Amino acid sequence: MCYLSRKKDLINTDSYHVTYHRCLSTSYILFGLVPFTKRLLFFTPIAFCFGGFLFGILRFFSYIVLLIKKGTMKFWDTNEKQFNKTVLIVPNWTWFGDDKDINSDSFLLVMKSFLANNVHADYNKWIIPYPSGHLPSSLLKFDNVELVDMGHLSTFPPLMRIQFPHSFFRKMFTNYEIDTIWSHLPEWTNQLLIARRYNVMTQPVYGYCHWWEIKENGAYKWNSFVDNINGILQMEECGVNSKWVKNLIIERASEYFSQKQLDKLEQIIQPWYLGCDEHFTSDKNDVPTILFNHRDNGYTGFKFFFDLMDEFWSKGYKFKVYTTTSDIDKEYVEYVGNPDRDTYLQNISKAHIGVGAFKDYSAWSMSVTDGFSAGVPYLLPKGLCYEEMVGENYPLYNDRTQLKEWLEMFLQNRLDFSYIDTQKITHKLAWKNSILGWKTHIL
């Protein structure tokens, strides 16, 4: 199918103006030997018509050449795969740089799982920009994904969110037939639409928001939360990790936005539950082993947890802590991270329990679902999104005092979580099941 109107923005109208007058000049030259009075009375209209005819022919063939170059018109058979739509992804890269493998980025894990499990994904082409020098090579196996270098970005997420690469995205709208925009970074979304304003297409925008700069996530005083909400308001629909976080975000937005906008957010923001890998189990360690596979940040309770483990170690308890942070120099710590996801999951499967020491953290922890996939039950808090993850009958701790009590009971062999049916949890959360609730058929 040819979309000639979509090419309008690619054509330099000034060059057409020049071409037209050259055609007109050519026609005058052809009739240049005709006496002036006859030219004036008779041949001038003919010259205008002939010039316009030449201009039309040239313009027609320029369109044909452009369409052939773009691949939207072919006069021969081709083995190149054809797609229903081309979807531009606005990415949310937060894990790249020194000692950080972009292939372990949570956004990438979501995209890989989506592409591998969504039956609609095969019919579309997915354009995914990435930061210079950090190729997400694990996406190369998908023949319907095109990776595009978008230039350098800060490896510090709060700065990355204000570094919208407008020149790059304007070129994307010029060089590609974009049908739909799927933004995983609402902070860039409104700016993206401004950069697109000279383009003749007005693609629908859908979203998925993984993170908000709010106090519950340890946000700085000056942050991008208002930009985030402004971006979500431009979307047809925006997926989030839970009903709980939807309510939290609308509550925080009420500090800045009118009731009319809050009502709009109520319609746009919808829970699209994140999934997990297929369930498996393996033999456990002989030594009591606790899994803490979270980032070294305040919102994960990192310092609280390791201070607590130091206290237990000083009391003479013997245990191991598995972690995915490579620079922890403690006698009881063992690093189990690995660039190969299957190896990583096999490593963590040997732990007896995992810990989510979250206090206010608004995100759905994919580290926790990794553990569930590997047959590791978790100690998790009440009052966040985890009731929706694990169900009503799962034992959740009330506060950090109770978490400390449970951990010490575990080290004393008085807390048994082996009865937790992690397989039932992962079956419900398996990507092939959870993704059925996503409205991705509209992309």
CATH number of the domain where residue 413 is located: 3.40.50.2000
The pLDDT, as a whole number, for residue 20 is 45
- CA–CA separation, 162 and 182 (whole Å): 19
Do residues 294 and 405 share a domain? yes
Residue 134 sits in the same domain as residue 248: yes
Count of beta carbons in the 10 Å neighbourhood of residue 12 = 9
| Among candidate residues 92, 80, 69, 94, the one with its CA nearest the CA of residue 7 | 69
What pairing do the DSSP bridges indicate for beta strands 237-240 and 145-149?
unpaired
Please tell me whether residue 123 adopts helix, strand or coil conformation.
Answer: helix
**Closest Cα to residue 56, out of 23, 98, 33?**
23
The reported pLDDT for the residue numbered 16 is 43
pLDDT of 220 reads: 78
Q: How many domains does the chain have?
A: 3
Q: Are residues 252 and 362 in the same domain?
A: no
Q: What is the pTM of this model?
A: 0.72
Contact indicator for 436, 114 with CB cutoff of 8 Å:
no
Tell whether 279 is covered by a domain.
no
- 355 is a domain residue: yes
Distance in angstroms (rounded) separating the CA atoms of residues 227 and 219 = 14
Query: Residues of the chain whose pLDDT is less than 50?
Result: 1-21, 23-24, 27-31, 33-34, 37, 39-40, 69-70, 72-77
**pLDDT given for residue 195 in this prediction:** 87
* Residue 322 sits in the same domain as residue 345: yes
Distance separating alpha carbons of residues 437 and 132, to the nearest angstrom: 34
pLDDT of residue 299: 78
**Rounded Cα–Cα distance for residues 376 and 78 (Å):** 49
- Token digits for 226? 């208002």
pLDDT of 331 reads: 95
Residues 59 and 90 in one domain: no
Q: Say whether both 124 and 23 belong to one domain.
A: no
Task: Bin 289: left if φ > 0, else alpha if -120 < ψ < 50, else beta.
Answer: beta
Taking all residues of the chain, what is their mean pLDDT, rounded to a whole number?
Answer: 83
Residues 6+ apart with CB under 8 A from 332: 309, 313, 319, 320, 321
Amino acid at 255: E
Q: For residues 109 and 253, state if they share a domain.
A: yes
How much is the pLDDT for 362?
67
- Residue listed under structure tokens 């969110």: 161
In-domain check, residue 133: yes
Pick from 215, 216, 398, 372: nearest CA to 293: 372
* Structural domain span for residue 353: 289-432
Residue pLDDT, tens place only, 35-71: 554 544 555 555 555 555 665 666 566 555 555 544 5
Q: Please report the pLDDT score of residue 24 as a whole number.
A: 47
Does one domain contain both 148 and 247? yes
In a shared domain, residues 255 and 127: yes
Q: Which strand (E) or helix (H) includes residue 379?
A: strand 378-379
